[in-house]
Amino acid sequence: MGWNTSKVFRDRNAGLYLGGVIVSGFGDSAMSLAAGIWVKTLTGSSSLAALVGFCVWLPTFAGPVIGTVADRVRRRPLLVATNLVLAAVMTAPFVVRSQEQVWLLFAVLTLVGTGMVLTDAAETALVAAAVPDELRGDFNGLVLTAIESMKLLAPLAGAGLFSAFGGPTVALLDAATFVLAAAAFRLIRVQEAPPAARVRRSWTAETTEGARYLRRHPVLGPLVATSGTALVLGALSSTATYAMLDAGLHRSPAFAGVLTSLQGLGSVVSGLAAGTLMRRWPERTFPAAGLALLAVGVLARATPWTPVVLGGSLALGLGLPCPLVAALTAVQRHTPPELLGRVAATANTLMYAPTGLALLLGTGMVAGLDYRVQLLAAGTFGLAAAAVLAMTGRTARTTAPAGARSTPETEEADAP
């Protein structure tokens, strides 16, 4: 298929960055699960254990504010320093021994979540400077594949380490991965332009500039909205899983592992193919096709036939990465360097923050409605959103905001 995967691995900066993402993602995923087990062991409370994930997710809402920091300094030193600080923060759980000290875990994980938001914004900006444009789609697909792979492997490692050696050992592992990530970012060779000279403005004005740019841009706004829609559909689908297994397929809860593995396999394949497909298809066609495939996968899960549900899980995995990779690559391609941290962080907030709310909505819906109603509604909405994205890509006539980079799609949109 002409994939550029081998070229990505041969590129020194891309390889170092990918290594940093893999090791830090492994440590974070392992610690997230182990922390929940740790809290449950110390307190006996399932609700407090669930609060662990909320602490990591909460700082996403502050993404536009945190992303402003990434535009005020050079990104590579910021990434090195942030990862080293997070490594030091992860030593705090070493002293947790009783129920009264559990608050320290929540504080540490909230700080880690804040650091992840900051590093995501800085990494997006650094990649735009360090990785050649022709490799960026393949590279972003590989990064997403690596992250999803870590989500499958790292939680098992975290649970195993916790069972064998206790929580402090998992915290030590996470601290070590932050150090390794800092070393990888330190070795990246990139000529970063100095931060743009700051006009005397309020922090609020600087923060909202990224949101204004996204809202006015004819390409980025729709792609970010599509990615958020895809993640919401994924959340609504996941909350219906156990009701589907029980009432629909009459399978045990353990069968969810098979569905998760198939979805993970689909994500790996989709991530590897993303760069090639993005080069061959128009900018909105790739995410629209991915969202449509995701919606078909959600609809398939509403059927009572196991083979169809298995195929639907694979389709979910194939479709979900497409809008995410497309949006991230477009942000890097169409955003001026001086705005990239704020735009990336704002885009991440718009894409990922609604997922938690969708999980709450899905949990309420599955408790009060037939799970098939939830899946049919989500799948139908996804197909409609995919159709709107595909059609507006051909008919949009919006002018890009000042500072936006010209692309074939924006030029076509502006043509009389």
Average confidence (pLDDT) over 21-25: 82
Higher pLDDT, 333 or 399: 333
Query: Does residue 111 sit in the same domain as residue 141?
Result: yes
pLDDT tens-digit series, residues 156-204? 788 888 888 888 998 999 999 999 999 988 888 877 666 665 556 666 7
Q: Is residue 191 one of the residues assigned to a domain?
A: no
186: left (phi over 0), alpha (psi -120 to 50) or beta: alpha
CB 404 within 8 A of CB 214: no
Average confidence (pLDDT) over 34-62: 81
Decide if pLDDT at 379 tops 60: yes
Q: Is residue 415 one of the residues assigned to a domain?
A: no
Average confidence (pLDDT) over 97-124: 89
Q: For the chain, give the percent of residues with pLDDT over 70.
A: 88
Q: What angle do CA 228, 230, 236 make, to 5 degrees?
A: 105
Q: For the chain, give the percent of residues with pLDDT over 90.
A: 22
Higher pLDDT, 411 or 272: 272
Q: Is residue 406 one of the residues assigned to a domain?
A: no
Q: Is residue 127 one of the residues assigned to a domain?
A: yes
Query: Does residue 231 sit in the same domain as residue 170?
Result: no
Amino acid sitting at position 225: A
Decide if pLDDT at 28 tops 90: no
Q: Is residue 416 one of the residues assigned to a domain?
A: no
Tokens of residue 405, six digits: 């980079």
Query: Does residue 166 sit in the same domain as residue 266?
Result: no
Query: Does residue 374 sit in the same domain as residue 288?
Result: yes
Number of domains in the chain: 2
What confidence score (pLDDT) does residue 196 get? 61
Tokens of residue 341, six digits: 């941290």
- The pLDDT confidence band at residue 284, using thresholds 50, 70 and 90, is confident
Query: Does residue 160 sit in the same domain as residue 264?
Result: no
Q: Is residue 195 one of the residues assigned to a domain?
A: no
What confidence score (pLDDT) does residue 404 get? 47
- The pLDDT confidence band at residue 356, using thresholds 50, 70 and 90, is confident
Angle formed by the axes of helices 340-368 and 63-70, to 10°? Answer: 160
Q: Closest Cα to residue 34, out of 142, 148, 112? A: 112
What confidence score (pLDDT) does residue 88 get? 95
Average confidence (pLDDT) over 346-353: 89
Query: Does residue 378 sit in the same domain as residue 250?
Result: yes
What confidence score (pLDDT) does residue 34 get? 83
Q: Which domain holds residue 302?
A: 204-397
Decide if pLDDT at 134 tops 70: yes
pLDDT tens-digit series, residues 225-265? 999 999 999 888 888 888 888 888 888 776 776 787 788 88
- The pLDDT confidence band at residue 319, using thresholds 50, 70 and 90, is very high
Lowest mean pLDDT among 40-49, 341-350, 359-368, 406-415: 406-415
Query: Does residue 132 sit in the same domain as residue 219?
Result: no
Average confidence (pLDDT) over 311-335: 91
For every residue of 278-291, DSSP letters joined together read: HHHS-TTHHHHHHH
Rounded mean pLDDT of the chain? Answer: 82
What confidence score (pLDDT) does residue 400 get? 44
Query: Does residue 217 sit in the same domain as residue 171?
Result: no
What confidence score (pLDDT) does residue 410 get? 40
Average confidence (pLDDT) over 285-302: 93
Decide if pLDDT at 399 tops 50: no
Which of 154, 186, 218 terminates a domain? The answer is: 186
Residue 40: CATH number of its domain: 1.20.1250.20
What confidence score (pLDDT) does residue 151 get? 66
What confidence score (pLDDT) does residue 403 get? 46
Q: Is residue 293 one of the residues assigned to a domain?
A: yes
What confidence score (pLDDT) does residue 133 get? 76
Average confidence (pLDDT) over 366-379: 86
User: What DSSP state is assigned to residue 219?
Assistant: T
Average confidence (pLDDT) over 206-217: 85
Average confidence (pLDDT) over 139-145: 81
Q: Is residue 26 one of the residues assigned to a domain?
A: yes
d(CA 329, CA 14): 14
Query: Does residue 262 sit in the same domain as residue 369?
Result: yes
Q: Count of CB atoms within 10 A of residue 311's CB?
A: 17
Decide if pLDDT at 300 tops 70: yes
Query: Does residue 236 sit in the same domain as residue 181?
Result: no
Query: Does residue 157 sit in the same domain as residue 255?
Result: no
Q: Closest Cα to residue 55, out of 41, 77, 75, 38? A: 38
Q: Count of CB atoms within 10 A of residue 403's CB?
A: 12
Tell me the three state secondary structure of residue 90: coil
What confidence score (pLDDT) does residue 203 get? 66
Average confidence (pLDDT) over 10-16: 79
Query: Does residue 279 sit in the same domain as residue 354?
Result: yes
Tokens of residue 78, six digits: 């910021």
Average confidence (pLDDT) over 106-121: 91
What confidence score (pLDDT) does residue 411 get? 38
Lowest mean pLDDT among 66-75, 200-209, 230-239: 200-209
